Structure 1
Amino acid sequence: MSKKHSNMEFRFIKYCIALLVFFAFGCSNVKYLPEGELLYTGASVTVKDSIIKKRDRKALEKELEDLLRPLPNKQILGLRPKLWIYNLAGEPKKEKGFRYWLRNKVGEEPVLFSKVDLDYNSSILRNFVENRGYFKARVSADSTAKNKRITAEYLVWPKKQYKIKSVSFPEDSSALGKAIARTSRRSLLKEGNPYDLTVIKAERERIDARLKEKGFYYFNPDYILAQVDSAKGDYEVHIKLKIKEQTPEKATIVYKIDKVVVYPNFSISKDSLKYKKEDVVLYKDFTIIDTAATFKPRVFDRAIYFKKGDYYNRKDHNLTLNRFVNLGTFSFVKNEFKTSDSLKNTLDSYYYLTLLPKKFIRVEVLGKTNSASYTGTEINVNWNNRNLLRGAELLTVSVFGGADFQLSGQNNGQNIYRLGAETSLVWPRFISPFNWEGSSEFVPRTKASLRYEYQNRTQLYALNSFKTSFGYIWKENSRKEHQLNVVDITYVSPNNVTAAYLEDAKTDESLKRIIEKQLIFGPTYSYTYTNTMQKRRKNTFYFNGELDLAGNITGLVTGANIKKQDTIKIFDVPFSQFVKLKADFRHYLKLGKESELASRIILGAGFAYGNSSVLPTSKQFVVGGTNSIRAFRARTLGPGSYFNVPTVNNYLPDQSGDLKLEFNTEYRAKLFSIVRGALFIDAGNIWLLNADPNKIGGEISKDFIKDIAVGVGAGLRFDLSFLVLRTDLAFPLRKPYLPQGERWVIDAIDFGSGPWRKENLMLNIAIGYPF
């Protein structure tokens, strides 16, 4: 028998086994049911109305079905594997152990029809449609049983929907009545719109929010009464908004701020409100009771938006609380308003702040592996001081080290060792000639950092890297963040370059550039927008744009912008000149409660000019690896159709380019417990702007699409709450370095072949999601 026929038989047997397993899932659940019980498999709602448009009717049916309880057992492809696992595990003898975990954590107990209350569900549906304006609706319920399984069917006759005929606001002359009337322009209740109780509730909350901005501190939405009149029988309602007669007097009064008192050393565990006279600091409009002289008073001036004599405003209230939290020095922030004893219609504001430990050490140890067959470990030790200069400054001193070993593969024995240190200081304000504090709830920051790293690639070379930066970080709101480094300097110096590497560098300019001294001057700027924290949205987005300008001012001063024969040097090192742009756009489409489709596209371009003919190696783009095109080893793909072959000394050099295009899309779904699964496809490549004789096919052309690499795969993610452990197994569908007409390699896929698996299957293990 031929090998091809043998593989076909093997695959046929696997398919048969899979079908048998699925058949077992589908058929073995009901035999475990208690005597006389039926397995509840779900319900349907049908809206019986010819006036409502079909699309609106289907949408209403979906909303009504979501209200029904209980929910049936979860299904996958029409089957109930979690229920099957529950039955398979059986009754555990004790409340621990593998069987207990399998039955109660992975499995799911059967949902029995005896738990379904048809009358209760019918009343829920009736209330819902009446709240939508379908008054006097009628609902009936029935069920259908077959083979110990039962479904419920609900029929809804909604009748004609009532519309809003008119809306009126309070007309009295009181301050509260006038304030409510002034909000009518932006009312959610519009004439001609359908009656909807949820909109009425939202309107009350909108009015309350508006009043809170006008000083009505003690007001709340329950003090607004919405009278609905539908007596005329013309399927129209008149809505009249009134202030309830039982509204307390203090809810009708506008309040101003009198005293602002801050307790920076508040402790829940002991009485920290006791203080001595010398502990009281009067600063501008604030009273600061700092028993340990922990902070400079100006810290609170920047954080607190209320000033003596201001009207109470909930926006300023929330901004102040958020600023205290964002200072990063407090574990607990509490705010309390009390009616002032000294002045009528005023509030005293008290802030109780509990400190985090001022100094702390964090140690991080992690293991890692990548698709280039490197396995290693890394340790980071960080010492932090949260209040270095009594202004909520954060000082961080870090030392780190790591090693990567390639135990097998192309670069066996060429290990990588890293050692370094970094220190940074962050001020919770802008340090600049311009006095701008912003009005965001997020504290603007100034950051200065200094970093040194020594990297030794054994048998090849070592690099000393120095980096310093000074810049600003600020947020407009929770979605938009900016980072500007006005100073960003990088200096790289090589040493211990081996003769073998120098031999390879004679024939490859890119290898030579790696061991050249580099001097890069900033500035850099990045902008990030994201609304991914809004979990209820079906579509969420993430965007990050980066701009890197190197040597532009230096080039003007030294004249390097004018083309010259000789490269201009500073301290005997040529400085780099280039412009680099990068955009990273991501889209997340929620498909269900526990599933989504995540997509990403990356565009990048770098252009060297003036004092530089090419981008520095550290600034070029790369693809491949755990967070990129996962079917290819890191830094081995491209540029273009160039084939990355080992050097004469058996060294597989990193590949990089001036241009980058990458696309990824990934289907993610929860499987069970902490385990999530993913199916993904990655595509893209890098290119050179100019032709390189040592990298034939690496330059960009009008046919660049033909150089796109494509890979697919599947993975598991283990969500441990404090981190996500990710495993991805991928293989290529398209290899751009093969001859034209042979680049699609789908026909060559053969999971039963050892040589094919060794060459094509890439296992990536990482922490966190790829994007």
Structure 2
Amino acid sequence: MKKNYQTYFKYALTFGMAYVVVSCNTRYLKEGEMLYTGAEINIENDTISKKDKKDLKAALEANLTPKPNSSFLGLRPKLFFYNIAKEPKKEKGFNYWLKYKVGEKPVLLGDVDREFNKDIIENYSENKGYFNANATYDTVSHNKKVKVIYTLRPGARYLISNVKFQEDSTLVNREIQNLTDKTFLKKGQPFDLDVIKSERERIDNGLKERGFYYFHPDNIIVQADSTISKNHKVELNVKLKDNTPDLSTQQFSIDKVIVFPNYNIRDVKNGKYSVPMNSDSLQKYAHEDIYVIDPEHKFKPKIFDRALYFKRGDLYNRTNHNLTLNRLISLGVFKFVKNEFVVSDSLQHKFDAYYLLTPRELQSLRLEALGRTNSANYAGSELNLNWTHRNFFRGAEQFKASVYGAFDVQIGGPENAKNIFRAGSNVQLSIPRIVAPFRFNSSSAFVPRTNITLGYEFQNRTEYYTLNTFSGSFGYVWKENARKEHDLKILDITYVSPANITPLYMERSAGNDAMKRVVEKQLIFGPTYSYTYTNTMLPKPNTVYYKGTLDLAGNITGLLTGANVKKDKEKTIFGVPFSQYAKIENDFRFYHKFNEKTSLATRAIAGIAYPYGNSEHIPFSRQFFSGGSNSVRAFRARTLGPGSFDPRTIPEGFYFDQSGDVKLELNAEYRANLYKFLNVAVFADAGNVWLINDDPQRPGAKFSKEFLSEIAVGAGVGLRLDFSILILRLDLAMPLRVPYYERGDRWTFDKINFGDASWRKDNLILNIAIGYPF
């Protein structure tokens, strides 16, 4: 015990000395210099609500300049490094890096323009309706540190008494009058310049939908009069500016739609190519009133008919303008998409719509070599050769073909886990439309696609068995918008044929039905559907991601054949029993951003797969697994569970994946940026998998009301090297709760012993991976 007290005292003393050293930054200041530690705003007004006062204060403080030196727990470590580093002679080297990259130059009182900040406070307050705002400032100093205190007396906030949209006889004014019912300017609301700006943009957006292509928000003026009404009221008058350009008041329609699918900006600059802006010089290749200038016939005109929303005679609107651009981009065959509108008839207010499309390289060949390791003591390499054709049948169809080979070698852990070799090929044809006997209309900005895939994989587990896996699918992918995506496979089929099952594997799997099912013939077919919702691309502090997947195998076939494995033998197709089950999985993620450098990421996964009819068990390839670099990281890949089954009962020297029919998992991760590409994380994971039915060879594996007591828990720390195009992740985790320990002894806090080499070997799991876990 005495030894522990001494250790704690050393830690406390070390921390205390570090605190004193890092916090004493003022001793580096010159005579007369004062370190600026920030500003504070006091608002003196009893008529403003607490919420309004709090919001006003936060907004004002965010606008003050400059910002003081960054601090952490009252310390300013960046300022400390700046002070201790010598002035470098060159703009490179360690001193330069430490002083100007890691360090931060001190912000002094002399850097603060207090009069400028005072004006900002008064002007911002007036823009928020406090027309009589008055601000003063003072300074408070101590030990060469100074804070600036600003005092604001805003007066009463002015409210809107009336909103008037001035009328006249022009066409554009009539359209503005039709937009007044959805105005942001409401009687009784506070005067707010930001709301007025939003109102101008709202009117502009509305007019853009009605053909006024050249209109601009600056053409609208909102006049405020506070002299008409008393009691701090203001009247607003919304009108068109007197000097509004005539072109902005004209309503335009589409004359011709002209597409140049082989446009190249370099040819234009070199004088080799020019875009004819005179319709008389167009060499027509017309289809559905669309002119496709494609002398080499590289593209079928019909793809533009599907992608372009403008037709001759249509009134211009911004929605169709943006939809067209987005759909052309989402075809995946054009690198750049440019749009121009050229007035063709100024009297009739018509213009031609030009689409200047620069194709990507239509074919590409890519070779990838990957090295990897996982927490199951395997290291390996993979070689992929991928060929892509982005215009396979001249209709923007994407054809992808790949061949690959991979091997995984055991580098430690269980003996005789055996090496794994995989080789295979995949082909996919993606058609930019829905190929179906019914008509599918989509107003989305994203082109719906029909996907057809075929694949084969050869897998050899040295000295155990070989698996030949054939797969194919036909289905559709479409997006409602940027947030919602649907993926429906009408048919998703997998056929697994084992070969070369060795006597050694048969010997080791004797009496273990789960291991025998790994090398059984499997025929899985049926529809699958997944729905994805995400708003993580939005600049919001709180964002979510959700993906739900439904997998239905052999349902109609099982119904037609009357399959019931509990009463009769399995029904077969070409001598192979077909699988029948229903599986659903939900993946929900929540992200909270504290600031630009810190965030919290959480995830919850819940899934269940239920066999029935022709199947007593879920096929091994369709079961759930837990453990590994993207799961519960304190347990090796696919070794966790099922339930409280103890993997130590498996014959020593043998290793196989543990699987389940039910999965629950929770993850939480605090992420912080240390320096540019270097990020750190602290995480905790919990979860497990279970079986639907009893398995005599795996006691404790069945899902029951005791499932909470069988949840595994792990925690750890991680480093992430974020190089933008590649994120290398290293996570070190240890188990905190082990489900196969004796009940009441599953928490492992009392067993942690970092000083024991044997404990570290068994409990510290290093995961090396690419990308974030979720």
Q: Can you give the 5+ residue segments of structure 1 that lack an aligned partner in the other structure?
A: none
In structure 2, do the counterparts of structure 1 residues 152 and 447 end up closer, same or farther at CA, with 3 Å as the change threshold? same
1:600 aligns with 2:595: no
Where 1:17 maps in the other structure, the secondary structure is helix
Aligned equivalent of 1:75: 71
1:331 aligns with 2:332: no
In structure 2, do the counterparts of structure 1 residues 72 and 278 end up closer, same or farther at CA, with 3 Å as the change threshold? closer
In structure 2, do the counterparts of structure 1 residues 112 and 367 end up closer, same or farther at CA, with 3 Å as the change threshold? farther
Could you tell me whether the CA contact under 8 Å between 2:329 and 2:337 is conserved in 1? yes
Q: Distance between the aligned counterparts of 2:729 and 2:113, measured in 1?
A: 43
Could you tell me whether the CA contact under 8 Å between 1:520 and 1:551 is conserved in 2? yes
Could you tell me whether the CA contact under 8 Å between 1:560 and 1:610 is conserved in 2? yes
In structure 2, do the counterparts of structure 1 residues 561 and 202 end up closer, same or farther at CA, with 3 Å as the change threshold? farther
In structure 2, do the counterparts of structure 1 residues 681 and 367 end up closer, same or farther at CA, with 3 Å as the change threshold? same
Aligned equivalent of 1:372: 376
Could you tell me whether the CA contact under 8 Å between 1:265 and 1:291 is conserved in 2? no
Residue among 245, 248, 251 paired with 1:248: 245
Aligned equivalent of 1:757: 760
Q: Distance between the aligned counterparts of 1:551 and 1:504, measured in 2?
A: 31
1:481 aligns with 2:485: yes
1:154 aligns with 2:150: yes
Aligned equivalent of 1:704: 707
Aligned equivalent of 2:688: 685
In structure 2, do the counterparts of structure 1 residues 538 and 368 end up closer, same or farther at CA, with 3 Å as the change threshold? same
1:625 is displaced (CA, Å) by: 0.8
Could you tell me whether the CA contact under 8 Å between 2:260 and 2:293 is conserved in 1? yes
Aligned equivalent of 1:239: 236
1:273 aligns with 2:302: no
For normalisation by structure 2, the TM-score amounts to: 0.96
Residue among 85, 89, 114 paired with 2:85: 89
For normalisation by structure 1, the TM-score amounts to: 0.96
Could you tell me whether the CA contact under 8 Å between 1:279 and 1:290 is conserved in 2? no
Q: Can you give the 5+ residue segments of structure 2 that lack an aligned partner in the other structure?
A: none
Q: Distance between the aligned counterparts of 1:589 and 1:87, measured in 2?
A: 35
Aligned equivalent of 2:717: 714
Deviates more, 1:335-344 or 1:709-718: 335-344
Where 1:544 maps in the other structure, the secondary structure is strand
1:411 is displaced (CA, Å) by: 4.0
The superposition leaves residues 324-350 of structure 1 with CA deviations (integer Å, 9 ceiling, x where unpaired) of 111111111110111113861111111
Could you tell me whether the CA contact under 8 Å between 1:646 and 1:652 is conserved in 2? no
Could you tell me whether the CA contact under 8 Å between 2:546 and 2:587 is conserved in 1? yes
Q: Distance between the aligned counterparts of 1:84 and 1:353, measured in 2?
A: 54
1:35 is displaced (CA, Å) by: 4.3
1:303 is displaced (CA, Å) by: 0.8
Alignment of 1:225-624 (within 5 A): 225-231=221-227, 232-271=229-268, 272-273=273-274, 280-341=284-345, 344-411=348-415, 414-535=418-539, 537-560=540-563, 564-624=567-627
In structure 2, do the counterparts of structure 1 residues 51 and 146 end up closer, same or farther at CA, with 3 Å as the change threshold? same
Could you tell me whether the CA contact under 8 Å between 2:417 and 2:653 is conserved in 1? no
Alignment of 1:634-673 (within 5 A): 634-645=637-648, 647-648=650-651, 650-673=653-676
Task: Letter of the 2:728 partner, please give it.
Answer: L
Aligned equivalent of 1:742: 745
In structure 2, do the counterparts of structure 1 residues 171 and 279 end up closer, same or farther at CA, with 3 Å as the change threshold? closer
The superposition leaves residues 409-451 of structure 1 with CA deviations (integer Å, 9 ceiling, x where unpaired) of 1146622222111111111111111121411100000111111
The superposition leaves residues 431-477 of structure 1 with CA deviations (integer Å, 9 ceiling, x where unpaired) of 11112141110000011111111122223222111111111000000
Q: Distance between the aligned counterparts of 2:444 and 2:320, measured in 1?
A: 10
Residue among 26, 33, 36 paired with 1:40: 36
In structure 2, do the counterparts of structure 1 residues 493 and 89 end up closer, same or farther at CA, with 3 Å as the change threshold? farther
In structure 2, do the counterparts of structure 1 residues 364 and 37 end up closer, same or farther at CA, with 3 Å as the change threshold? farther
Percent identity reads 51
Task: Letter of the 1:192 partner, please give it.
Answer: G
In structure 2, do the counterparts of structure 1 residues 407 and 11 end up closer, same or farther at CA, with 3 Å as the change threshold? farther
Where 1:439 maps in the other structure, the secondary structure is coil
Q: Distance between the aligned counterparts of 2:2 and 2:637, measured in 1?
A: 36
Q: Distance between the aligned counterparts of 1:411 and 1:503, measured in 2?
A: 16
1:38 is displaced (CA, Å) by: 2.2
Task: Letter of the 1:629 partner, please give it.
Answer: V
1:41 is displaced (CA, Å) by: 1.8
In structure 2, do the counterparts of structure 1 residues 463 and 122 end up closer, same or farther at CA, with 3 Å as the change threshold? same
1:172 aligns with 2:168: yes
Deviates more, 1:324-333 or 1:564-573: 564-573
1:215 is displaced (CA, Å) by: 0.7
Aligned equivalent of 2:187: 191
Q: Distance between the aligned counterparts of 1:522 and 1:317, measured in 2?
A: 40
Q: Distance between the aligned counterparts of 2:125 and 2:76, measured in 1?
A: 32
Q: Distance between the aligned counterparts of 2:743 and 2:660, measured in 1?
A: 22
Deviates more, 1:196-205 or 1:121-130: 121-130
Q: Distance between the aligned counterparts of 1:106 and 1:437, measured in 2?
A: 55
Q: Distance between the aligned counterparts of 1:342 and 1:240, measured in 2?
A: 32
1:195 is displaced (CA, Å) by: 0.6
Q: Distance between the aligned counterparts of 2:266 and 2:702, measured in 1?
A: 67
Task: Letter of the 2:249 partner, please give it.
Answer: T
Could you tell me whether the CA contact under 8 Å between 1:86 and 1:104 is conserved in 2? yes
Could you tell me whether the CA contact under 8 Å between 1:105 and 1:673 is conserved in 2? no
1:57 aligns with 2:53: yes
The superposition leaves residues 332-370 of structure 1 with CA deviations (integer Å, 9 ceiling, x where unpaired) of 111011111386111111110111111111222222222
Deviates more, 1:305-314 or 1:340-349: 340-349
Aligned equivalent of 1:631: 634
Could you tell me whether the CA contact under 8 Å between 2:553 and 2:580 is conserved in 1? yes
Q: Distance between the aligned counterparts of 2:579 and 2:122, measured in 1?
A: 72
Task: Letter of the 2:355 partner, please give it.
Answer: Y
Could you tell me whether the CA contact under 8 Å between 1:280 and 1:290 is conserved in 2? no
Q: Distance between the aligned counterparts of 2:675 and 2:490, measured in 1?
A: 48
Q: Distance between the aligned counterparts of 2:590 and 2:755, measured in 1?
A: 36
Deviates more, 1:164-173 or 1:606-615: 164-173
Aligned equivalent of 1:30: 26
Where 2:97 maps in the other structure, the secondary structure is helix
1:761 is displaced (CA, Å) by: 1.1
1:274 is displaced (CA, Å) by: 6.0
Q: Distance between the aligned counterparts of 1:164 and 1:42, measured in 2?
A: 36
Q: Distance between the aligned counterparts of 2:603 and 2:738, measured in 1?
A: 21
Q: Once superposed, what is the RMSD of the aligned Cα atoms? A: 1.8
The superposition leaves residues 491-536 of structure 1 with CA deviations (integer Å, 9 ceiling, x where unpaired) of 111223232221121121111110111110021000000000002x
The superposition leaves residues 637-659 of structure 1 with CA deviations (integer Å, 9 ceiling, x where unpaired) of 11111111263351122111111
In structure 2, do the counterparts of structure 1 residues 462 and 40 end up closer, same or farther at CA, with 3 Å as the change threshold? farther
Could you tell me whether the CA contact under 8 Å between 1:606 and 1:658 is conserved in 2? yes
In structure 2, do the counterparts of structure 1 residues 766 and 34 end up closer, same or farther at CA, with 3 Å as the change threshold? farther
Q: Distance between the aligned counterparts of 1:141 and 1:730, measured in 2?
A: 52
Q: Distance between the aligned counterparts of 1:41 and 1:677, measured in 2?
A: 28
Deviates more, 1:101-110 or 1:600-609: 101-110
